[in-house]
Amino acid sequence: MQFTSERLDDNVLEREFTLGEIPGTLWTPESAGPVPLVLMAHNNGLPKSDPRLVARARYTAARGYAVATIDAAGCGERPRSAADEQARTELRRAMRAGEPVDEIFESFIGPLVENAVPEWQTTLDAVLALPGIGGPVGYSGGWTALGIRLAVVEPRIKAAGFFAGGYVPRAQREEARQVAIPLLFLLQWDDEGNPRERALELFDAFGTKEKTLHANLGGHTGTPWFELEDGCRFLDRHLK
Amino acid sequence: MQFTSERLDDNVLEREFTLGEIPGTLWTPESAGPVPLVLMAHNNGLPKSDPRLVARARYTAARGYAVATIDAAGCGERPRSAADEQARTELRRAMRAGEPVDEIFESFIGPLVENAVPEWQTTLDAVLALPGIGGPVGYSGGWTALGIRLAVVEPRIKAAGFFAGGYVPRAQREEARQVAIPLLFLLQWDDEGNPRERALELFDAFGTKEKTLHANLGGHTGTPWFELEDGCRFLDRHLK
């Protein structure tokens, strides 16, 4: 793990790193003492430098967490094959047109999740080896399919917050029943890209005995600010 | 308004009162300074002395609110007509048997709501006239139909928390569209007495632009403790 830049802003240390081919960012509070770790992902098409992700990460770090994110293979600003570019364009077009996207999801997002998981696990190993970071690990992110897969295969993850994930590949819809950790599931009631019925079905399917749904009025990017605070309080209950 | 008893416990002052025929309880924090008022009701069949209501009221008062509850006409421990007793027994039997209860709701709960509203408004007038209580008013309670009606007719109420109200009379289902204040709607995912679909439809129907749904796994009485805290944080955002 190589740190390539660092800056301190408002008591949060922000460090860019590379781990082999994986580019990542780590945010930590300035205060001493071991802090729990949160893996934070969002929509695989957006880069880890996306302002909304960065704002969530900085807020969470200021609340006493180490927060790590990466651009996994084919995600964010990582290079993509021509076929992947085409699939992504087709997915966007179909969603905008309101056409069914299940088949594109299966053939495109499915492998992306499969390939992302080992890179996130490699990151988890490396970050947990750093001084001052330890204890239980949480997942918080808008990439629900990745979160489901990680929650199932990675026993170090003890709690997860998912955002507005109506659409996930079939494999993760089935794996949802195996998720056994506490869950906070965030839903935008009028999300253009994620049918409400699908999201409610997914919430219903999670196997865990401790799950909470928060739904708010508005579209995909309209999540109210207080959900950020609620999300941290959820993590506090399970990681601190 | 006549206070009939008072006791101080854990910095919360609990006073029983009567207001004409209306018996009520008022909880206030010991600290000085005007505090916002929360009207707290629950299932009209339960008395105001129900331990779960008292626990919620004491917690809320300790967080810096005056909390008032009453047994409205025909509710709690107030005398009931033989016809009302029979309707209540029939309602319980039908719910346990999983039979449709809409008609019983219309003929029994409808008038109960109508008659309760002026008594709650009289209480509101009297409590707001006391020293140290002022500012915006909130409603928090399991009697969703009453809450809807109060939110529509009573402009002093600025925010409302409703609990698990799938079943409300037709009049309140329609009035839900007129509710324009911020709303927190609590739902138990496996509530035996309140069909989930109905509760989600009701949440959808509320006319307010600011509404949040919290759903948790479990039956009617299984609401997790952290929802009590979340409910106070919701009130804090709108009343303080």
Confidence band for B17, pLDDT divided at 50, 70 and 90: very high
Residue A29 to residue A10: CA distance in whole angstroms: 9
Model confidence pLDDT, tens digit, residues B96-154: 888 888 888 788 888 999 999 999 999 999 999 999 998 799 999 889 999 999 999 99
Greatest alpha-carbon span in chain A: 51
Is residue B90 in a domain?
A: no
Terminal-to-terminal C-alpha distance of chain A: 26
- The alpha carbon of residue B209 is apart from the nearest alpha carbon of chain A, in Å, by 7
Provide the whole-model pTM.
0.92
Rounded to whole angstroms, how far apart are CA atoms A238 and A182? 8
| Interval A194-208: pLDDT, tens | 889 999 999 999 999
Q: For position A120, what pLDDT does the model report?
A: 97
Q: Using 50, 70 and 90 to split pLDDT, how confident is the model at B166?
A: low
Q: Indicate the pLDDT class of residue B41, thresholds 50, 70 and 90.
A: very high
Judge whether A128 and A38 are in contact, CB under 8 Å: no
Tell me which residue has tokens 């002093």: B156
More confidently predicted of A66 and B163: A66
Stretch among A90-99, B33-42, B167-176 having the lowest mean pLDDT: A90-99
**Residue of higher predicted confidence among A217 and A101:** A217
Residue written as token pair 């499969």: A114
- Domains contained in chain B, number: 1
Helices A110-128 and A144-153 pack at an angle, to 10 degrees, of 60
Residue whose pair of structure tokens reads 């929360």 in the numeric block? B38
Q: How far is CA B117 from the centre of its chain?
A: 11
CATH number at residue B17: 3.40.50.1820
Q: How many CB atoms lie within 10 A of CB B158?
A: 18
What average pLDDT is seen over chain A? 92
Query: How far apart (Å, rounded) are the C-alpha atoms in residues B128 and B34?
Result: 10
Cβ neighbours for A67, distance < 8 A, ≥ 6 positions apart: A26, A27, A28, A37, A38, A40, A57, A60, A61
pLDDT level of residue A166 (50, 70, 90 thresholds): low
Whole-number Å distance between alpha carbons of B207 and B186: 17
Per-residue pLDDT at B103:
86
Tokens of B99: 């039979």
**Dist. CA B68–CA B201, nearest whole Å:** 30
Give bridge partners of residue A24 from the DSSP assignment.
Answer: A17, A70
Residues near B73 by Cβ (< 8 Å), separated by ≥ 6?
A: B21, B112, B115, B116, B119
Take residue A174 and report the two structure tokens written for it.
Answer: 């089935």
Nearest to B29 by CA among B66, B4, B3, B56: B66
Q: Is the pLDDT of residue A157 over 70?
A: yes
**Bridge partners, A212 (sequence order):** A184, B216
Say whether pLDDT at A115 is over 80.
yes
CA distance B201 to chain A (A): 12
A14-48 tens-digit pLDDT: 999 999 999 999 999 987 779 999 999 987 788 99
pLDDT at B176 over 80: yes
Mean pLDDT across B169-185: 95
Q: What pLDDT score does A76 carry?
A: 87
Is B160 domain-assigned?
yes
Instruction: Note whether A215 contacts B210, CB cutoff 8 Å.
Output: no
User: Among A196-205, B11-20, B40-49, whose mean pLDDT is lowest?
Assistant: B40-49
Among B24, B33, B27, CA closest to B61: B27
Banded model confidence at residue A92, pLDDT cuts 50, 70, 90 = confident
Q: Is residue B159 part of a domain?
A: yes
Residue B186 sits in which domain range? 2-76+113-239
- 3-state SS track over A68-106: EEECCCCCCCCCCCHHHHHHHHHHHHHHHHCCCCHHHHH
Which residues does chain B have within 8 Å of residue A210's beta carbon, measured at their own beta carbons? Answer: 217
Tally of CB atoms within 10 A around B111: 15
Q: Nearest CA of chain B to the CA of A57: how many Å?
A: 22
What is the reported pLDDT for B95?
81
Q: Is A230 within 8 Å of B226 when comparing Cβ atoms?
A: no
Closest CA to B108 of B145, B151, B77: B145
Is residue B37 helix, strand or coil? strand
- Does B150 fall in a domain? yes
Write the residue in B209, B224, B226 that is nearest to A217 by C-beta. B209
- Residue-level pLDDT at A233: 97
| Domain annotation covers residue B106 | no
Mutation pick from B191, B198, B210, B217 vs chain A, by most beta carbons of A within 10 Å, is B217
- For residue B132, count other CB atoms closer than 10 A to its CB: 12
Asked if the structure places residue B92 within a domain, the reply is no
Residue B230 with chain A: CB contacts under 8 Å = 230
Residues facing A217 on adjacent strands: none
pLDDT exceeds 90 at position B233: yes
Residue B135: predicted pLDDT: 76
Report yes or no on B204 lying in a domain.
yes
Nearest alpha carbon to residue B58 among B126, B8, B127: B8
- Residue B100 burial (C-beta neighbours within 10 Å; 0-12, 13-18, 19+): exposed
Distance CA A166, CA A189 (A): 11
Residue B24 within any structural domain of the chain:
yes
